[in-house]
Amino acid sequence: MLKIKRALISVSDKKGLDDFVKGLNELGVEILSTGGTAKKISSLGIPVRDVSSYTGFPEMLDGRVKTLHPKVHGALLALREKDEHMEQVKKHGIELIDMVVVNLYPFKKTIEKPNVHFEEAIENIDIGGPSMLRSAAKNFRSVAVICNPERYGEILGELKNNGGS
């Protein structure tokens, strides 16, 4: 089973996040996060490392670019059983990510609003979230993928029952 040492959390829907990140923290999981999610986690008194400090690259373009970085996707896509991948990860200072917790911007909910402005709708098209979910899913043997807040309790229970795995 996969031991969760580092999780990247970037969620639009923060429902259930408090207890989930508290539980991850109790298990010793390092938390990487972005923007509003990082602020929320920090406000709970839980240590959180901003993705920008990890990548060495700031959020830019009004938050449109946060996680679209080789250090993020390399950390998700690296095949841990391949020596060549592990050498490249080490060479480029990439720290492996074992869990991705992402839920996407509420595009459908946004466009269903009466009189929604086109610009608001466009800004609710998520790019980084789906990219991380796909990278993590491609490496499902090494990266846990969490996209449904309704499952946080169940997942945390499994981690606690299995020593963080």
Q: Would you list the domain boundaries of the chain?
A: 6-160
- Of 19, 13, 59, 29, nearest to 152 by C-alpha is 19
| Token representation of residue 58 | 């700031």
Any idea which residue has 């993590």 for tokens?
136
CB under 8 Å to 43, separation ≥6 — which residues? none
CATH number of this structure's domain 6-160, picked from the four choices 1.25.40.10, 1.10.580.10, 3.40.50.300, 3.40.50.1380: 3.40.50.1380
Amino acid at 150: E
Give the per-residue pLDDT at 12: 87
Cα 154 to the chain's mean position, in Å? 18
Give the per-residue pLDDT at 66: 82
pLDDT confidence tier of residue 59, bands split at 50, 70 and 90: confident
Please list, residue by residue across 33-57, b when 16 or more beta carbons sit within 10 angstroms of its beta carbon and e when fewer do: bbeebbebbeeeebebbbbbebbeb
Give the per-residue pLDDT at 1: 66
Write out pLDDT tens, residues 93-133. 999 999 999 987 777 777 788 888 888 777 767 778 889 99
Task: Report the share of the chain in percent with pLDDT over 90.
Answer: 67
Give the per-residue pLDDT at 30: 98
Amino acid at 54: Y
